[in-house]
Structure 1
Amino acid sequence: MSDKIKILFVDDHQLIIEGILSYLKDIDGLDITSTNSCDEAYSLVKSHMNTDPYHILFTDLSFDNADRNMTIDCGENLIKVLKKDSIPIKIGVITGHSETNRVYNVIHNLQPLAYILKGQCNTTELNFAIQKMMNDQVYYTHEIHEKIMKRALIEIQMDEIAIQILKELPKHSKISNMEGIITKSDGTLIKIRAIESKLAKLRTDLNANNNTDLVLKAKELGILD
C-alpha cells in the first residue's frame, strides 16, 4: 500500500482539472487521480476502498456534462451518496460557486472539510487545505470563511419578527400595508411604528441603502430565497 496521500479530483471541465493538477504536482507526497464524471468518481472510491483507498476527494458542485444516463449528476449528490454509504474519505469542494446561500447550504448540510474557490486557489492554499483535511480540520478559502461568519452573525441578530418583515417587504408598495400582518409569537399584531423601527435596524445591520437594497442583501445572505 502506498504511503502517499491519495487524492481523487472530480470536475467536468478538463482545463480546470489541468489547472488544479498543475498546482498539485508541486506538492510532494501526493498520488492524484482525476475524472470528469461523478459516477466514475463514486465507482473509483468504492473499488479502492479495501485495497488502496483514496484519502481525499475534491469535487466541483455543478456538472454541465450531466445527462439522463448518469446516476449522480452533481458534486452535491456525490457527497451525499458517499456520506450515506459511510465511506471513510475526506471530502473537499473546489468550485466557482461563491453565492452565500449556496455556500451556506453546502457547508451546513454536507459539511465538507474544505471549500475552495477555483479562481483564487494556488499551490500554497491547496497544500495547506490538504494538510488540514488530513488532520480532520476544516479549511475554507478566506472569502468563504467571511461569508459564513457574516451569515452566522446575521442569524444571531435575526428574530421571528425580522424574518416576517423581510419576507413581506417585497409584497407591498407601502410599509403601512404591512400593519396587521406582522405578528409576535403570541399572535399580537405589530404596529407600523415598530415595523418601521425594525426596518431601520435591519438596514443598519445589513448595511442597506434602502428597503429595496435590504431585500437584495437578505437574498445575498441566504436569509430570503
Structure 2
Amino acid sequence: MKTKTRILVVDDHQLVIQGILCSLKEVGDFDVVTTNNCDEAFSLIKSNVKTNPFQLIFTDLSFDNLTEDTNLDGGEELIKAIKNNDFDIKIAVITGHTETNRVFNVINNLKPNAYLLKSKCDGTEIGFAIKKMMTNDYYYTHEIHQKIMRRNIIQIQMDEVAIHILKELPNHPKIANLEGIIKKVDGTFLKLRSIETKLSNLRIDLNANNNTDLVLKAKELGIID
C-alpha cells in the first residue's frame, strides 16, 4: 500500500485553511494536518520527524494571533527554524504578501520551494506546485515570478552612482542641489545634465511617473531603504 504524502498547513485564519484543504482534495489523496500557529507547527514537525514525518508544509508569513509566549512570530521564523534543524521537508509559502522587497528577501534568503498567493491560488496551481516540489524543483506563481525577474534585472542595471542619486534625491528640494554631491566612479563630481539624464533613465527602468514616484518604487523594490 502506497504511503500518503503528509502535508502540514499553517495559517491563523480557519477560512483560509478550509480553502487550502478543499484545493488539496481536488488534486490528490493526502494526509493533511492543520494548525493556526508556528510554534505548534514546529513542534509537530519535530515530534513526527522519526515516526511519521511531513513531506510538505504550506505556511503563511504573517500571523495575527501572537502572544507574549510566542517563540516563532511568523512564517519566516518558522522556515528558518526548519532549515536550521535540517528537517527534510519541502516548504511552500502561501500568503497575501506581494510587496516586492519582502518577496525578494523571503525567496533570496529563505529559498522556499514554492511561493503562492492566496487570492489567486486554486487546486490546479497547488497541484502543480506539489509536483514541482516533490521532484526537488521550485515553483513561484506567475505574479511573484515576474516580480523577482524584474527585481533581478533592475538590480543588475543599478550602479553605485544610480543608488547614490536615489538615496540623495529625497533630501534635496531641487535636482540642481545634487550637483557637487554625486560622484562618478573616478571620484569627480557628476554634472547636472548627467544627473538629469541618469534620473530620466531610472524613471524609464522603474516605470516611474516622476522623481517622487521613482523614489517610492526604488524603496518598494528594496533598492534603497
Partner of 1:94: 94
> Shift of residue 70 of structure 1?
1.0
> Shift of residue 223 of structure 1?
1.5
Say if 2:87 is the partner of 1:63. Answer: no
CA distance in structure 2 between the partners assigned to 1:189 and 1:68 by the alignment: 52
> Shift of residue 28 of structure 1?
1.8
> Shift of residue 2 of structure 1?
6.3
> Shift of residue 218 of structure 1?
1.3
Say if 2:224 is the partner of 1:224. Answer: yes
Partner of 1:44: 44
CA distance in structure 1 between the partners assigned to 2:35 and 2:223 by the alignment: 35
SS class of match (2:27) = coil
> Shift of residue 186 of structure 1?
3.9
Partner of 2:145: 145
Q: CA RMSD in A?
A: 1.3
CA distance in structure 1 between the partners assigned to 2:17 and 2:177 by the alignment: 53
CA distance in structure 2 between the partners assigned to 1:67 and 1:176 by the alignment: 51
Q: How does 1:170-181 map to 2 (within 5 A)?
A: 170-181=170-181
Bigger mean CA deviation after superposition, 185-194 or 117-126 = 185-194
| Kept after mapping to 2: 8 A contact 1:56/1:90 | yes
Partner of 2:113: 113
SS class of match (1:25) = helix
SS class of match (1:26) = helix
Partner of 2:198: 198
Structure 2 portions without partners, runs of 5+: none
CA distance in structure 2 between the partners assigned to 1:206 and 1:39 by the alignment: 39
What is the identity percentage for the equivalent residue pairs of Structure 1 and Structure 2?
63
The TM-score with structure 2 as length reference comes to 0.96
Partner of 2:163: 163
CA distance in structure 2 between the partners assigned to 1:2 and 1:53 by the alignment: 15
Q: Cα deviation per residue 1:97-136 (whole Å; 9 max; x = unaligned)?
A: 0010110000001000100000000000000000100111
Aligned residues: 225
CA distance in structure 2 between the partners assigned to 1:173 and 1:113 by the alignment: 45
> Shift of residue 37 of structure 1?
1.1
| Kept after mapping to 2: 8 A contact 1:2/1:52 | no
Say if 2:84 is the partner of 1:79. Answer: no
CA distance in structure 2 between the partners assigned to 1:197 and 1:73 by the alignment: 45
Structure 1 portions without partners, runs of 5+: none
Q: Where has structure 1 moved over 3 Å in runs of 4 or more?
A: none
CA distance in structure 2 between the partners assigned to 1:206 and 1:94 by the alignment: 27
Q: Cα deviation per residue 1:115-169 (whole Å; 9 max; x = unaligned)?
A: 0000000000000000100111110111000000110111111111001101111
> Shift of residue 185 of structure 1?
3.5
What one-letter code is carried by the residue in structure 1 that aligns with 2:212? T
Partner of 1:11: 11
Bigger mean CA deviation after superposition, 184-193 or 58-67 = 184-193
The TM-score with structure 1 as length reference comes to 0.96
> Shift of residue 203 of structure 1?
1.0
> Shift of residue 62 of structure 1?
0.4
